[in-house]
Structure 1
Amino acid sequence: MQLRHVESFLAVVEEGQFARAASRLFLSPPAVTGHVRQLERELGAPLLHRSPVSLTEAGARFLPHAQAMVTAANAASAAVKDLHGARDTVIRVGVMTPGAAELTPAILRAFCRAQPRTRLTVESLGFTDFLSAVLEHRVDVAFVRPAPDDERVITDTLTVEPRILLTLATDDLAHADGVRLDDVLDLRFVRFPETTPRLLSDYGSFAAARNGMDPHWGVGQATSAQDLMTSIAAGWGVAGTLQSLGRYYRSPGTCAVPVVDAPWEASALVSRRDDLRPEIRAFRDLAVALARDPGLSRLRPPVPPER
């Protein structure tokens, strides 16, 4: 699907005529007509009634997505406008699985399309180094969860999500529609290495609800999402995480159960506060623009309820 075809469709919808849309786009009317027909062929449905011009049912459904595509492309272009003509550069991107879930690859794709001369490399981050990798200059930006509060980095929140409990599929709680914090705090939790930032171990064991009491740790130890899922499937403990990990990164033998009264938590993009390179600012701006775009709501969980 080509962006110029989508732009022609939107112009016809907004102008109400193919001729006026063509004039606005500095194209011929046959060219605009061809763009819309090609789009309809790709989607397999007519998008517009021709006389007079109006949206079909398929066109009405496609419209917000078309607007989101153009908005995202414009945001990408604006985010990197200062980089045109710059020398080839590299941004090292760290991802603590699954980062901001579906938003992570969407942001990477959009930035590569918008700025092909800036090369992205991706490095997997574990539970112990998701922040130190940024501070030690091993990566330039990182998709992490939960959002850190550290004056040495800039934290851009990308999603705010409900909490879930990851548990063995044969556990009593596994198939409940939802559980409460009182149901889970006395369970055994998968242990993290001693070098894990306190932020993450507290997050994984619902420490905020414990009134200072330590969790019951299981025999397993996890340094990555893969380790975590393997430990849970082995029956070595449970873990608290964000809703999207349960959807995006599941293992056989495990279940994700909503924790209905747990405060929602964020995933974020972090970068060094003293890194003032324009390509880093451009990457951050694009990530935030896509995360906030209402047309891309399918990539994000719902808004948290008011308490």
Structure 2
Amino acid sequence: MELRTLRYFVAVAEELHFGRAAARLYMSQPPLSRAIRRLEADVGAVLLHRSAAGVTLTPAGTVLLDEARTLLDRADRIRVRVAVAAGAATITVGILGDGSDPGAMRLAAAYRRRHPGVEVRVRETDLTDPTCGLRAGLVDVALTRGPFEETGLTVRELRADPVGAVLRADDPLARRDRLRLADLAGRRWFQFPGGTDPLWRSYWNGGEPREGPVVRAVQECLQAVLWNGTVGMSPLGHEPPEELIVVPLADMAPSRVVVAWKAGDVNPLIRSFVQIATAAYRP
């Protein structure tokens, strides 16, 4: 019974869907299915019921899920303790966006509890670099939002937030319960500086070329709306200043909260960070 196979099983058991689990593990579905069948043969029990309606855990699968989580957690702790003993007890985390996000706060608390001997350095970045310095080698792991160019990176989604248009409270559209992007045609939107990741820029401009003031930080975005009547976008649940309103956008894809790291980086502190982040953001 290999740790890798147990990680596969935990992913399927948590997602209850082979396709989603395969995407989470960055592998194709057929080898994942074969690995689970081998695991069932190894333990001598059916772990998952598969049907057209989806995947459910058997009683044996429920027991293994609990035991596998404990075992994998122990294995990760061992890796981190060895890294600490070897003198590699520092991790630099890049953060973009709202530091008061409950998920980020749960993550910080859980990481401190799990690894009290690890020094966590935090580098906060503005909106011009959604990878928070990851590509430049300034951070080990990034807690950020997509979309952005993912070449050379491994990216795991933690949560998806619906978004809305940020408008001044006296804007006629602010009285609507819901808007569509077509309702905002012809309006000025805030812009990011030249050289900003094209996927990132396109998402926050609603997928269309726009004109408007150039901003670098969240507060600059809000001030552009307040002073100039510019249109912005924000995840729902982020309370704007009293003079501003966020109206849900019906035809915008959610904003993905993600954790990202360099592809192939086997630093155990990063692996543990990703594991704890996944649990901290789980509904």
TM-score in terms of structure 2 length: 0.68
1:114 positional shift: 0.7
Residue 19 of structure 2 corresponds to which residue in structure 1? none
Q: Residue 267 in 1 paired to residue 264 in 2?
A: no
1:76 positional shift: 9.9
Give matches, 1:161-172, under 5 Å.
Answer: 161-172=161-172
When residues 76 and 93 of structure 1 are mapped into structure 2, their CA distance, relative to the original with a 3 A threshold, is farther
Give matches, 1:104-119, under 5 Å.
Answer: 104-119=104-119
Structure 2 gap segments, 5+ residues each: 1-65
Structure 1 gap segments, 5+ residues each: 1-69, 298-307
Task: State whether residues 233 and 253 of structure 1, in contact with CA within 8 Å, keep that contact through their aligned partners in structure 2.
Answer: yes
Aligned length: 213
Q: Residue 283 in 1 paired to residue 270 in 2?
A: no
When residues 132 and 264 of structure 1 are mapped into structure 2, their CA distance, relative to the original with a 3 A threshold, is closer
The separation in 2 between residues aligned to 1:235 and 1:118, in whole angstroms, is 45
Q: What is the percentage of aligned positions where both structures have the same residue?
A: 21
- 2:263 is matched by which residue type in structure 1? R
1:131 positional shift: 2.0
Task: State whether residues 156 and 269 of structure 1, in contact with CA within 8 Å, keep that contact through their aligned partners in structure 2.
Answer: yes
Q: What secondary structure sits across from 1:256 in the alignment? A: strand
- 2:117 is matched by which residue type in structure 1? R
Residue 189 of structure 1 corresponds to which residue in structure 2? 189
Residue 229 of structure 1 corresponds to which residue in structure 2? 222
Residue 51 of structure 1 corresponds to which residue in structure 2? none
Task: State whether residues 167 and 245 of structure 2, in contact with CA within 8 Å, keep that contact through their aligned partners in structure 1.
Answer: yes
The separation in 2 between residues aligned to 1:146 and 1:241, in whole angstroms, is 13
Deviations 1:73-132 (A, max 9, x none): 969954434212533511111111127932112111100111111111211111222326
The separation in 2 between residues aligned to 1:221 and 1:139, in whole angstroms, is 26
Instruction: Name whichever of 225-234 and 279-288 sits farther off.
Output: 225-234
Structure of larger gyration radius: 1
Give matches, 1:139-154, under 5 Å.
Answer: 139-154=139-154
Q: Residue 94 in 1 paired to residue 71 in 2?
A: no
Give matches, 1:29-48, under 5 Å.
Answer: none
Task: State whether residues 192 and 214 of structure 2, in contact with CA within 8 Å, keep that contact through their aligned partners in structure 1.
Answer: yes
Give matches, 1:62-141, under 5 Å.
Answer: 77-78=73-74, 79-85=76-82, 86-87=84-85, 89-98=89-98, 101-131=101-131, 133-141=133-141
Instruction: Name whichever of 170-179 and 126-135 sits farther off.
Output: 126-135
Task: State whether residues 76 and 111 of structure 1, in contact with CA within 8 Å, keep that contact through their aligned partners in structure 2.
Answer: no
1:267 positional shift: 1.4
**Which portions of structure 1, spanning 4 or more consecutive aligned residues, are displaced by more than 4 angstroms?**
73-79
The separation in 1 between residues aligned to 2:101 and 2:204, in whole angstroms, is 17
Q: Over aligned residue pairs, what C-alpha RMSD do you find?
A: 2.6
1:148 positional shift: 2.9
Task: State whether residues 161 and 243 of structure 1, in contact with CA within 8 Å, keep that contact through their aligned partners in structure 2.
Answer: yes
